[in-house]
Amino acid sequence: MSATVIESESSGSTAILRISGDITSGSEGDLTAAYAAAVDGGARTVILDFAGLAYMNSGGIGLLVTLLVRAQRAGVHLMATGLSDHYRQIFELTGLFAATTTPDAAAPPAPAAGA
Amino acid sequence: MSESLPPDQGGRDAGNWARPVDRLSAAGVTGAKVDSVSGKRVSGPLQGFGQLWQKTFKVRLDGSELSPVELIAMWKDRFPTFWPGGSRFYAPLAGIAPGEVALLDVQPVPGSPVKLSTGVMVLYADDESFTFMTPEGHTLSAWITFSAYRDGDVTVAQAQALERTSDPFDELAYMFGANRMNNRFWRQTLENLAKSVGVTAPSVDTQIVCIDKQRQWRHAGNVRNSATLRTARHTLTAPIRWVTRRG
């Protein structure tokens, strides 16, 4: 198993996080930190580029779901790109594909007061 | 029943994941009286209704010589035997492998003669973990991952759920006791697992985090598939069926 490597690139209100290596539950620190840095830098759309992804287990997909939910509640669009056929299938199976590739699905509702 | 992707058609993990399926089939299960899963779609945390919770239950297997890989192999093989009494897990004939479907009879209330019939699909499985995903109609829209790892010289067994209730009725039940019963269920399962490998007084560590306090009202319509309501309807109409049969 290899480490998660994340390279960040920002342009205006959009940030791209290029992910390579493995995504497991152990990637939480790296991924959360990269996402937080992007949002703190003013990004309202964060694109996760999975072109370099080599391995992902169920802990990794769980991590992506929790990141997606947190992004939605914060009003940040989280998008996915660069998925191989294999990872696209996993995203479809788990519902992540629709939530991270369709702008309408990714668009978060305004947080409800007191919810 | 579905299939996993051959390792030569994806990444290193390709053989560990279930392939996408439109509708589930429990054709690979025997012994269950009710199959309420075949024909249903899978439904994970993104498709559910209620608040999103991450629940982690861990137990240290002090004194056990089993490695994480050995423990997971045993857990997969004997999974139904660790469930608390009153609930049944009908394992797929092919075992706990990616894409396989298992059926369940769960007591909504301990001691109740009423059984909730539902199931799970094996979303992911490798040597050190396996993950179930729920179908439509299950009370929870969830993934639950069973794993093992080494902490120093001790093997630790873990069950971690990422779950939402599926519809407003399930959410109500969850708020009024089903959540606590669910937690008790997994704690007891881990205790049973630990006792089976010789741990005399297992202590299950529990961590529960609310990931999302908001409810997904756009998924309130999940109620049309509710196994809870179907079971309640079946129970309430039992006297009518009894009278009809006698008459």
Tokens of A97: 């594909």
Domains present along chain A, CATH in parentheses: 4-104 (3.30.750.24)
Contact assignment for B11 to A99 by CB distance below 8 Å: no
Contact assignment for B10 to A112 by CB distance below 8 Å: no
Angle at B159 between CA B154 and CA B163, to 5 degrees: 155
Which residues on A lie below 8 Å from B52 (Cβ)?
66, 69
Quote the minimal CA–CA distance from A41 to chain B in Å. 23
* pLDDT score for B1: 46
Which residues on A lie below 8 Å from B129 (Cβ)?
57-59
Smallest Cβ–Cβ distance between A58 and the set B9, B54, B123 belongs to B123
Contact assignment for A93 to B19 by CB distance below 8 Å: yes
Quote the minimal CA–CA distance from A111 to chain B in Å. 8
Tallying the residues shown for chain A, one arrives at 115
Which residues on A lie below 8 Å from B160 (Cβ)?
62
Burial B219-239, CB ≥16 within 10 A → b, else e: beebbebbbbebbeeeeeeee
Query: Does the beta carbon of B79 lie under 8 angstroms from any beta carbon of chain A?
Result: no
Cα separation, B103 vs B118, whole angstroms = 6
Quote the minimal CA–CA distance from A8 to chain B in Å. 23
Cα separation, A9 vs A48, whole angstroms = 11
Cα separation, A20 vs A71, whole angstroms = 21
* pLDDT score for A90: 93
Taking only the tens place, the pLDDT of each residue in B45-62 is: 999 999 999 999 999 999
* pLDDT score for B225: 86
Q: Give yes or no for residue A104 having a pLDDT over 50.
A: no
Name the residue in chain A with its Cα closest to that of B209. A66
pLDDT band at B36 (very low <50, low <70, confident <90, very high): confident
List Cβ neighbours of B223 (8 Å cut-off, separation of 6 or more): B166, B167, B168, B169, B229
Contact assignment for B10 to A93 by CB distance below 8 Å: no
Which residues on B lie below 8 Å from A96 (Cβ)?
46
pLDDT band at B237 (very low <50, low <70, confident <90, very high): confident
Domains present along chain B, CATH in parentheses: 7-211 (3.30.530.20)
Name the residue in chain A with its Cα closest to that of B21. A93
The answer, yes or no, to whether ipTM is higher than 0.85 is: no
Which residues on B lie below 8 Å from A112 (Cβ)?
214
Quote the minimal CA–CA distance from A40 to chain B in Å. 20
Cα separation, B145 vs B129, whole angstroms = 7
Average pLDDT over residues B128-155: 95
Q: Give yes or no for residue A63 having a pLDDT over 50.
A: yes
Query: Does the beta carbon of B71 lie under 8 angstroms from any beta carbon of chain A?
Result: no
Q: Give yes or no for residue A3 having a pLDDT over 80.
A: yes
Q: Is B212 helix (H, G, I), strand (E, B) or coil?
A: strand
Q: What is the mean pLDDT of chain B?
A: 89
Quote the minimal CA–CA distance from B245 to chain A in Å. 43
Q: What is the mean pLDDT of chain A?
A: 87
Of B65 and A1, more confident:
B65
Ramachandran region, residue A92 (left: φ > 0; alpha: ψ -120 to 50; beta: rest): alpha
Task: Enumerate residues 135 to 174 of chain B having a beta carbon within 8 A of any beta carbon in chain A.
Answer: 143, 145, 147, 160, 162
Taking only the tens place, the pLDDT of each residue in B73-93 is: 999 999 999 999 888 999 999
Q: Give yes or no for residue A106 having a pLDDT over 60.
A: no
**Nearest-10 crossing angle of helices B227-236, B238-246:** 40
